Amino acid sequence: MLHKSLYALLFSLLVSTAPAAALAAEQAPLQVCFTPGGDCTDLVVGEIAAARHQILVQAYSFTSVPILSALRAAHARAVEVEVIVDKISAGVSKSGSHYSAAVYLTNAGIPVWVDSKVAIAHNKVMILDGAVVITGSFNFTAAAQNRNAENLLVISDPAVAAQYRDNWRRRQAVSERFGRVAEGQSG
């Protein structure tokens, strides 16, 4: 009995804290995705496409062309997009390419910071319109979608989003602005 009432209380809290817009659009307060099997990249791209005002990103490994393209498209439609990457997403790739996610985003006019004050900036987070958080083990990479066992959680809750935004701002404050634009490359 106690377990059932605890679950009922937790469920009612989740539903009551979901943003009215999300409920109106019949979006669940929580969406989950797992790979292999689920199309987590498509879920992320869909959430980016739905953003209207702001997208804050923290990314460890960041090579997904569909996600990078969706962020660029959001920026092009006047959504404020800001990104913090780990130093591995700002440097030379294993293939020797200097054209990283940080370069691609910077070339597109999106502000990028490099969080190098910690051993690994291992976050995989997006905060959208101050109301939705995307997080989980899912790196924003093709490997996470196609080869790894990963999880992704989309949380529609402004209170949770505020906590993630506050953490994003703390990490931004200790990060360095990325300013390199690849020569001869256009975004």
pLDDT tens, position by position, 4-32: 443 443 444 444 444 434 433 456 799 99
pLDDT digits (tens, 9 = 90+) for 34-70: 999 999 999 999 999 999 999 999 998 888 999 999 9
Tokens of residue 80, six digits:
């404020």
Is 122 noted as a catalytic residue in this protein? yes
Please work out, in degrees rounded to the nearest 5, the angle formed at the alpha carbon of residue 79 by the alpha carbons of 62 and 173. Answer: 60
The active-site residue, picked from 87, 124, 157, 166, is 124
pLDDT digits (tens, 9 = 90+) for 136-181: 999 999 999 999 999 999 999 999 999 999 999 999 999 999 985 4
Helix (H, G, I), strand (E, B) or coil at 161: helix
Known catalytic membership, residue 129: yes
Quote the CA–CA distance of 118 and 157 in Å, as a whole number: 28
Please tell me the class of the 18-177 domain: alpha beta
Report the mean per-residue pLDDT for the chain: 83
* Cα–Cα distance, 117 to 30 (Å, whole number): 32
What pTM value is reported for the model? Answer: 0.80
What residues does each domain of the chain span?
18-177
Which one of 75, 86, 115, 129 is the catalytic residue?
A: 129
Q: For residues 130, 135, 141 and 147, what is the CA-based torsion angle, rounded to 10 degrees?
A: -150
